[in-house]
Structures are given as structure tokens and as C-alpha cells.
Amino acid sequence: MDTPSNCAEFCPKNHFYNVNNTLQYTKLVWRDNCDRNPLYPQGGTWVYDRSNWCPGAEVWTYDMELTPFVTPGNTAILNHDVQAYVQTGGWDYYQIEDQVVYYDAPSFTLDASIDDIISPSTNQMWLRYNPVCTNPIVKITNTGSTALTSLTITYGLNTGTPAVYNWTGNLAFLESQDVTLPIFPWAQGATSFTVTISSPNGGADQYAYNNSRTSSYVYPPVMPSPMVIEFKTNNYAWENDYTLKNSAGVIIHSRSNLLNNTVYKDTLTLPYDCYTFELLDTGEDGLSWWANTAQGSGYIRFRSATSNQILKSFGNDFGGQVYQQFTVGLTSSTTDYIMTNQLEMHVYPNPSDGHVYIDVNMTKRDNGLIEIHDMLGKKVYSYRFENLTAESVEADLSFLDKGVYFVTLTTGDQKVSRKLMMD
């Protein structure tokens, strides 16, 4: 690829679409949110923004309506061009695929569809923004020929009374919008969330089979009050700040202008409500990342203020954001504070020079065993814990030789393993 722009994978360029030698569309083909990839953490340079893709994530498509620029029965010349760049290497190239789709007139004049439920959802695509206890977010599309200006949206959990929201807007044929719905009574014990749309523009929807969608529902974590937010900064503390908001979106606590390599412990007494915690990293490479060892390593955790028990350890290879919604006030027993629906283990920094953190989040209160083996299967480290829902281990592995090791967590009938590089 060429330098200094790296014009193959890491180069934002405009693409131009001409019809009959006339420019009709200009599109910047660039993905600027790889640091919030739903598939994380992962190996490689996953946080770097790229030309229209992020490792493991979906690839965006660009749709352009050609109907106004062509005449039935006549020949049309279509041309796709790319913004020029200077090539200094011999192997960079773009593989481009364009498809022309022919379609008849819309089948319906009044029709809307519910295309996706972003939250609440257990879909991996929306992992970073779930579970929730605030506003549901759904995606609607106008699938009728008449502009969609109003819609009735009915939504709720399988155990409760549905809520109703009257949406207004202006969507042309095939235009979509993510709709943030008002908060309604969330409930423990529910297993699904259903949204149904009706009355487009006050009339009858002409196609009923795209009017409803259901997602799996998981109740957000329940936290104690008081609780502690424990945050250790790395060498680049200026990249970080965090906020805690209540269900009204009001910031009730925040941290910014932080010092490098400093531990902050904020004890918070919170009334019953739903809360949103968000930690941002403007460097878009978390608190520790293998390709930026100069930033050092930090961590972010939730603790009990009374027992000092770790309730949640967030991995530090998170890209640009840690996002967690939780509730306070439904229980006073720490035995109920289960912060995850699957066994989690985060090992960092990785690669390591010998000082390693191992963070564990359990699906239930249980015993566990952490073991580290070399490539030949020889056990070089072990650590046991009992009757916990989360744990954070600081391991001194400076005695190990450089190379590849495997960290394994075993608890009950579950097991998870991570590769660790010793530098």
C-alpha cells in the first residue's frame, strides 16, 4: 500500500457514481466506528477505522436510486469511479462489486415494517448497548409508496401491559429510522419483548406480515446501594472520562481531568432507578492494548461498598467505550448481583512483560480454578477462588520465559481459555 495514506485498507476516499456521464452521487466509503465493534475484544488491529469494514462486523452497503436518471427503453451508461491517490507500492488494489436491482412499482401504498429491535436484544450486533432498563430502540421502514408521516407503535414485555407511542415523521419509500421509545415498566422474570406497528398515516396497513417483531429479553444487572466505581487510569489519563446518568438522562456523577496511573474510588448512594454508566476513551484503544504498550494499563470495576466484593470487572481492551445499564433498589442481597449471562475472563495486558491481571465474571455464585499452561501442557500457575460472582487476580509471571501460554478458567461445568503472549 502507499505511504503515508496507506491507501488500501486505512484510507478514506470518495466514490463517485455517474449516470450517462453526469455525476449523481458522491459517497465517502469509510467506517469510522471500528472502536465500537460489537465483536470485541479480538486480536489484531480491530480498533482502527477502515475503508467500509471493521474486523468481524457487518459491511455497509450504499444504495442509490437510479430511476430518475434513466428512461425505459433507452441505454444508460453507469460509471463507478474512485477519488485518486498516489500509489507508491505495487500491490494495493480495490475489489469493487456493484449490483443493479430492477423492481416493479411498490405493491402497497400504505405499508410500514418493523425491521429490527436494537434494544432490548440479545443479538450480538447490539451487544454493546444491552441489556437496558431505559428507552427501547427499534428500526422502522416505510415499505409503501406514500410518504410515511405517522405510525402507532405498541410495545412491551411478555409479562406486562403494552405501552403505546404515536410516532410522527416523514419517510419516503424504503427510508428507515431508528425510533427511541418512551420508558415503560421493565420487569424481572420477563423473557421477551414485542413491538407491533399499526395505522400508518392513520389508515389501514396493507401488509400485516411485517408489522411485528419479538426479541429475547434479559433483565439488567441489579446493583447494591451504596456501591463503588473503582477506576485505575493508565499513562494516557487525558483520553478518559466517565459519566453516570439516571433514567431521566441527568448526569449524577462524573470523572474527568484525571491523573495518570491513579486509582479513583467513588462511593455512591443511589436511589431506586435505572442507571447508565459510560466510560469513553478518545484514543479508541481501551485502557490496555497490545499495539500501544506506551499507554500502559488500567482497569474499571464495580465493587460493593460494604463487603468490597468485585461485582463487575470490565475488560480493558474495549476500544472506545464501556457502556453498562443497571438498576438499583430491587434487592439488598449481594448474592443476587449477577452481572453477566455468560462466563467471562479478561487477561491483560497482552502481550505482557510478566505482570498480568485476570478478571473473571461469573453467571452465578460458584467456585473457580484459574490455570496457566505452556505450549507443552506444563502447568506454570494456578489460583483458586470460592463462592464468588466475580474476581480480579494480579499474577506475577515474571519468572516465565518469552512465548505463548494458555490461561484457562474452570467453574462448574463451564470452561473458557485465552492465549497469553509473554514478551
Pairing of strands 212-216, 299-304: unpaired
The arrangement of strands across the sheet holding 112-119 comes to 112-119, 137-142, 176-180
Q: What is the CATH number of domain 112-216?
A: 2.60.40.10
Note if the bond before 351 is cis, omega within 30 degrees.
yes
User: What tens digit of pLDDT does each residue of 87-138 get?
Assistant: 776 666 677 889 999 888 899 999 999 999 999 999 999 999 999 999 999 9
Residue 59 β-bridge partners = none
pTM of the model: 0.81
For residue 230, the tally of other CB atoms under 10 A from its CB is 18
Residue 410 β-bridge partners = 369, 415
DSSP E strands: which ranges in 20-95?
22-29, 78-82
Q: Which of 376, 378, 380, 415 is nearest to 396 (CA)?
A: 380
Domain 220-335 indexed as CATH 1.10.357: no
> Distances from the Cα of 125 to the Cαs of 53, 111, 121, 346, in angstroms?
14, 26, 9, 20
Q: What is the CATH number of domain 1-103?
A: 2.60.120.230
Instruction: Name the pLDDT band for 167 (thresholds 50, 70, 90).
Output: very high
pLDDT of residue 89: 67
pLDDT of residue 90: 64
Torsion of CA 26, 32, 33, 34, to 10 degrees: 110
Question: What is the percent of the chain where pLDDT is above 70?
Answer: 94
Neighbouring residues of 90: CB distance < 8 A, sequence distance ≥ 6:
none
**Fold equal for 1-103 and 220-335:** no
* pLDDT surpassing 80 at residue 273: yes
Q: What are the residue boundaries of the structural domains of the chain, listed by start?
A: 1-103, 112-216, 220-335, 340-423
Q: Is residue 194 a contact partner of residue 156, using CB atoms and an 8 Å limit?
A: yes
CATH topology of domain 340-423: Immunoglobulin-like (2.60.40)
